[in-house]
Amino acid sequence: MKTWKIAFTTVLLLTCVFGMVFAGGQKDAGAAQSADGGKKILYIAYDRELDLFNPFTSQMLCDLQHNVSEGLIITNDKNEFIPVLAKEIPTFENGGVVKNADGTYDMTWHLHEGVMWHDGVEFTAEDVQFTLDFVHNTPQVYNQSEYNKIIKSEVIDKYTIKFTWDDLYTFYPGIFEAMLPKHVLGHLSWEEIARYEPYNRGPEFIGTGPFMFKEWKSGEYIRIVRNPNYWRGPQYPLIDEMVWQFIPDQTARFNAMKSGAYHIGQIEATQVKNFNTKGLHVEMIPSNVFYHIDLNVTKEGGRPELFSDVRVRRALYSAIDRKAIVDQLLEGTVQIANSPIPPTSAYHNPNIKAAQYNPEEAKRLLAEAGWRDTNGDGILDKDGVKFSFTFMNRSGRADRIAIAQVVQAQLKALGIEVLMKEYEAAAWSERWRNSQWDAQVGGWFMSSDASLTNYYHTRDGKNGSNNFTGMGNPELDQLMLKADKTLDFNERKALLDRAQQILADEVVSMYLYYRDSPWVVSDSLVNFRGSGTNLGNWWNAYEWDLK
Amino acid sequence: MLKYVIRRTLQMIPLLFAISVVIFSIIQAAPGGPEGTLLDRGMFVDPAAIDAYRARLGVDQPVYIQYFKWVGAMLTGDMGISFQTQRPVLMMILERMPDTLRLMGLSFIVAAIIAIPLGVFSAVKQYSTFDFLATGASFIAIAMPVFWFGLMMQYFFSVKLQWLPVAGTMTVGVGGFMDKLKHILMPATVLSLHSIAGWSRYMRSSMLGVLNQDYIRTAHSKGLEKRTVISVHAVKNASIPVVSVMTLDIARLFSGAVITETIFGWPGIGRMFIQAMHARDYPLLMGIMMMGSTMVVVFNLIADVIYGWLDPRISYE
């Protein structure tokens, strides 16, 4: 009796264990067919899970999407815009851009012919028009304001569309990085499209790209598979399938890459030294991200009594040992910056005269500005005000907080007290937008057109939409606005060179370094040419191969 | 008994309302809002666009209005739409449920199978080498941070030995029982270790209490075999408090394991909760937390009922 009971319980428990391991197995459908035939499957250790596919309403950085949904353009590894579904990028030279009598500009895009959506319907200029209409009517598109400068559009024929811009802008070839299929979404209202589950999550997420959506297992992975009818020719793409496994934890992702089970994945700068797994290598991909410290010179929320004197700002910059930051925190994997435009851009100015590390010069400048330690407490003061300010740190941004800590130690040596205060993302952005902070460490994307206006133009309601430092220099404002409307490279380069020098002289933003992103890449992956722009590394995935 | 259950069930309703008010207030009291995710795109957004975004999600309204809207929808069975994904919250939770229960359930069962005998042996052989080892190991297991243990397991079994995969529930394109077993092994071990340590301590102390009772001495003096005394008379009585502790722990199965799931890329509720928290995805947060709270309240009732059923000395009349 007792033996029977024990046996029964054991069997029951084992059944449970067995069942639990095996449960949820209905998704195995693809297993049998892909196990045979030697399919080329690329495994990606991805640092996040997407919120949704629609590249226009997603609140995250989009890269996966562009394997499926192509746009008129994309950015390559040289930080250039290259045409994808468009035959070429319209310019004055090729006659694609024409100035009208009323000061507006007509821009004509010619599309490739015979490009098919994944469901076999032909891609036409109507789809471009539909995409533009969607963006115009959907406020949550993060760069809607750029599209809003297209005041009129006209479908000339199946493969030609003409946009009329209210003025000339350098970002014009950098939008329309994805396309929405009119024949799939056209019957819905704009608000319905934003919430349309079949497109946002999968089965109806179609594009013209080299890969087609296959499966999204919530919380675990996304699978995309080869498009056999890709428009670049039947030989493309060369790999059969991509599996994007979500591994958000940094250390776990590092372990995942070291385990050799994945072909590609991003790691941290501090992990580079310890990565030496056979069959894989680390590629440092220069990104468009520049790290910098902002000082708040606004009268309302900032610290004008400390920072309004340019000598003080220059002293702070001279007191910060950027090389030490780069060596200590990033193991020397990145380049020191003197300007916001990274060397990946053709507009980078390598000849800027900026304050370099020189503590003696810093002391001299501070004394000249009247800052002395009169009460012997080890902290400089002037007119009864202590030289003490606070870094506004954003929770979870360990890289930036570490920089703030190093700077804190470096400035202490000069008798400057630096405090730290941490805010979570949303509270942080609230304070940032209201200029309620003293100083902050930022890591921002420089767009491929290298426009500086949003960051540094005097905030006047129209320009300088992210200038919360109080930076306002009339000469700089003019240069930046002029640069935004100048398409000739040499002319524009001269303007931006001068603008970068003014930024270095003003020292409201102290540039630290340009980030290189370390990516672990399998030796067997061919044709990987990483791109540091916000459109990601997958711009040429159609010609990737696994050897 | 039936009356008692009905009364307790009815009491749950105001309790859950009170819980929902508290959770809603705490979530809303946290600084910032869902627009914070806009900044994570690494771009800068026009403040007007942020205001439009807030208005669209309805978070620009006073908190009490948001709450009444939420409760109203909840009463009709509508848990709302997630801010991030634009999908129904209920669907998102149900989607994650099978994998959550699979991992949590497996570690629960494994832990139960190991913890109870471990506690019994420790008590019977009190102060023996085995008891000291088990006690020491339990304290280490309780004290060890889950994330550290998980990462170390990954380092040894995935990186060094290459036996087990780092993340996911299965190898895409392979599947099969062995493949799934390999994937669940490490996270389940990490999770069960904690429970084993806790439960075996309960079992041990409860068992020690019982072993000193008069009826155990009586059983011994009647000439019963030691084995029989322990397995029939002692274990049965000693397991009553442990069973109720374990029943309460069942409620936790539905909420998943935040850290373990994040480290092992496991698609469970815990990870979704963390994502929702970072994004200030209020409807999804409310959905997950209310589900968790409901489970705790329900399993409290179940634990009480089981307790009364196991131990006739307790009466609910």
CA–CA distance, A141 with A135 (Å, rounded to integer): 6
- B41 and A60 within 8 Å at the Cβ level: the answer is yes
pLDDT band of residue B215 (cuts 50, 70, 90) is confident
Q: Kindly state whether B34 is in contact with chain A, defined as any CB-CB distance less than 8 angstroms.
A: yes
Task: Select the residue of B39, B98, B173 nearest A30 (Cβ to Cβ).
Answer: B173
Mutant choice from B35, B37, B44, B54 vs A, greatest count of A C-beta within 10 A = B44
Q: Who among A24, A247, A454 is closest to B167 (CB)?
A: A247
| Cβ of residue A197 closer than 8 Å to a chain B Cβ | yes
A41·B172 Cβ contact <8 A: yes
Contact at CB, B166 and A252, closer than 8 angstroms: yes
For residue range A464-494, list pLDDT tens digits in order.
Answer: 777 888 888 999 999 999 998 888 889 999 9
Give A333's contacts (C-beta < 8 A, 6+ positions apart): A269, A272, A284, A326, A516, A518
| pLDDT score for A41 | 93
Across the interface, do B32 and A428 touch by the CB < 8 Å criterion? Answer: yes
The whole-number average pLDDT for the span A153-159 is: 93
Predicted local distance difference test score (pLDDT) of residue A30: 36
> Cβ separation of B275 and A23 shorter than 8 Å?
no
Chain A residues within 8 A of B95 when measuring between CB atoms: 218
Nearest to B267 by CA among B84, B91, B79, B97: B97
- Nearest residue, CB atoms, A245 vs list B52, B106, B167: B167
Give the H or E element holding residue A291.
strand A280-295
> Which residue is closest to B188 within chain A, CA to CA?
A21
Query: Cβ of A243 under 8 Å from any chain B Cβ?
Result: yes
Whether A460 and chain B come into contact, CB under 8 Å, resolves to no
Average of per-residue pLDDT across A271-289? 90
CB interface of A with B, residues 467-506, below 8 Å: none
The pLDDT assigned to A246 comes to 93
Q: A396: which chain B residues are within 8 Å (Cβ-Cβ)?
A: 278
Binary contact (B263, A241; C-beta < 8 A) = no
Q: What are residue A354's phi and psi, to 5 degrees?
A: -125, 160
**Minimum mean pLDDT range among A16-25, A40-49, B103-112, B142-151:** A16-25
Asked if residue B4 has pLDDT above 80, the reply is yes
Mean pLDDT of A204-219: 94
Which member of A17, A34, A61 has the closest CB to residue B42?
A: A61
With bands split at pLDDT 50, 70 and 90, how would you rate the model's confidence at A38? confident
Find the closest chain A residue to B95 by CA distance: A218
Question: Which residues of chain B neighbour A42 with C-beta distances below 8 Å?
Answer: none
* Band (A441; pLDDT cuts 50, 70, 90): very high
Of A13, A219, A425, the CB nearest to B32: A425
Residue A41 touches chain B, beta carbons under 8 Å: yes
B-proximal residues of A, 201-220, CB under 8 Å: 201, 217-220
Contact residues on chain B for A23, CB-CB shorter than 8 A: 98, 102
- The answer to whether the CB atoms of B96 and A194 lie below 8 A apart is no
Q: What are phi and psi of A451, to 5 degrees?
A: -80, 130
- Residue B316, pLDDT above cutoff 80: no
- The one-letter amino acid at A248: P
Q: Do A28 and B176 touch (CB under 8 A)?
A: yes
CB-nearest to B86 from A22, A200, A256 is A200
User: What ipTM did this prediction achieve?
Assistant: 0.85
Q: Which residue has the higher pLDDT, A363 or A454?
A: A363
Per-residue confidence (pLDDT) for residue B62, from 0 to 100: 86
Average pLDDT over residues B277-299: 91
How sure is the predictor about A27, in pLDDT bands with cuts at 50, 70 and 90?
Answer: very low
Q: CB contacts < 8 Å between A and B, how many?
A: 216
Q: Which of B37, B168, B271 sits opposite A59 (nearest CB)?
A: B37
User: Least CA distance to A217: which residue of chain B?
Assistant: B267
Rounded mean pLDDT, A443-450 = 85
Q: Do A258 and B159 touch (CB under 8 A)?
A: yes
Name the nearest CA neighbour of A238 among A534, A532, A528: A528
Measured between beta carbons, the chain A residues lying within 8 angstroms of B158 are 255-256, 258-259, 261
- Give pLDDT, residue A485: 84
Of B32, B150, B265, the CB nearest to A426: B32
pLDDT of B280 reads: 85
Residue B54 sits at the chain A interface (C-beta within 8 Å) = no
Percent of chain A topping pLDDT 70: 93
Query: Is A245 an 8 Å CB contact of chain B?
Result: yes
Query: Taking CA atoms, what residue in A is nearest to B94?
Result: A218
Say if CB A518 and CB A283 are below 8 A apart: yes
For chain B, the average pLDDT equals: 87
In chain B, the residue whose alpha carbon lies closest to the alpha carbon of A144 is B49
**Band of residue A287 on the pLDDT scale cut at 50, 70, 90:** confident
Looking at chain A from residue 264 to 293, which residues have their Cβ under 8 Å from any Cβ of chain B? 289
Identify the band that residue A31 occupies on the pLDDT scale cut at 50, 70 and 90: very low
Reported in sequence order, the residue ranges of A114-239 that DSSP labels E, i.e. its strands, are 150-157, 160-165, 211-217, 221-226
The residue of B172, B180, B225 whose CB has the most chain A CBs within 10 angstroms, and thus the best one to mutate to test that interface, is B172
Cβ-contact A532, A517 below 8 angstroms: yes
The answer to whether residue B86 neighbours chain A at the CB level (below 8 Å) is: yes
- Reply yes or no on whether the pLDDT at B216 is more than 80: yes
Confidence at residue A35, expressed as pLDDT on a 0 to 100 scale: 43
Confirm if A320 and A507 have CB atoms less than 8 A apart: no
pLDDT exceeds cutoff 60 at A2: no
Average pLDDT over residues A434-443: 90
Nearest-by-CA chain B residue for A53: B85
- Write out A495-535 in H/E/C secondary structure: HHHHHHHHHHHHCCEEEEEEEEEEEEEECCEECCCCCCCCC
Confidence class for position A13, pLDDT limits 50, 70, 90: low
Q: By the CB < 8 Å criterion, does B29 face chain A?
A: no
Report the range of poorest mean pLDDT among A221-235, A419-433, B199-213, B226-240: A419-433
Using a CB-CB distance cutoff of 8 angstroms, which residues of chain A are in contact with residue B49? 139-140, 142, 144-145
Which of B39, B109, B166 lies closest to A259 in CB terms? B166
Which has the higher per-residue pLDDT, A179 or B83? A179
Closest by Cβ to B39, choosing from A248, A423, A425: A425
User: B260 CB near a chain A CB, below 8 Å?
Assistant: no
Chain-wide mean pLDDT for chain A? 88
A465 closest CB neighbour out of B46, B99, B167:
B46
pLDDT, tens only, A262-271 = 999 999 888 8
Residues of B in contact with A18 (CB under 8 A): 177
Task: Give Cα A321 to chain centroid, integer Å.
Answer: 27
Give residue-wise pLDDT tens across range B25-76. 998 887 767 777 666 655 555 666 777 778 878 888 888 888 998 988 888 8
Residue-wise DSSP of chain B: -HHHHHHHHHHHHHHHHHHHHHHHHHHHHSSS-TTHHHHTTSS---HHHHHHHHHHHTTTS-HHHHHHHHHHHHHTT---B-TTT-SBHHHHHHHHHHHHHHHHHHHHHHHHHHHHHHHHHHHHTTTSHHHHHHHHHHHHHHHS-HHHHHHHHIIIIIIIS--S-SSSSS-TTT-SHHHHHHHHHHHHHHHHHHHHHHHHHHHHHHHHHHHTSHHHHHHHHTT--HHHIIIIIIHHHHHHHHHHHHHHHHHHHTT--HHHHHHTT--SHHHHHHHHHHTT-HHHHHHHHHHHHHHHHHHHHHHHHHHHHH-TT----
Q: Given CB atoms, is B7 within the 8 Å cutoff of chain A?
A: no
- Enumerate residues 6+ apart whose C-beta is below 8 A from A19: none
More confident residue, B97 or A434: B97
| B198 CB within 8 Å of a chain A CB | no
Mean pLDDT of A512-523: 92
Banded model confidence at residue A10, pLDDT cuts 50, 70, 90 = low
Evaluate whether A402 touches A409 at the Cβ level (below 8 Å). no
Chain A interface includes B176 (CB < 8 A)? yes
Nearest CA in chain B to A61: B41
Name which of B57, B166, B233, B263 to mutate to probe chain A: the one with the most chain A Cβ atoms within 10 A of its Cβ: B166
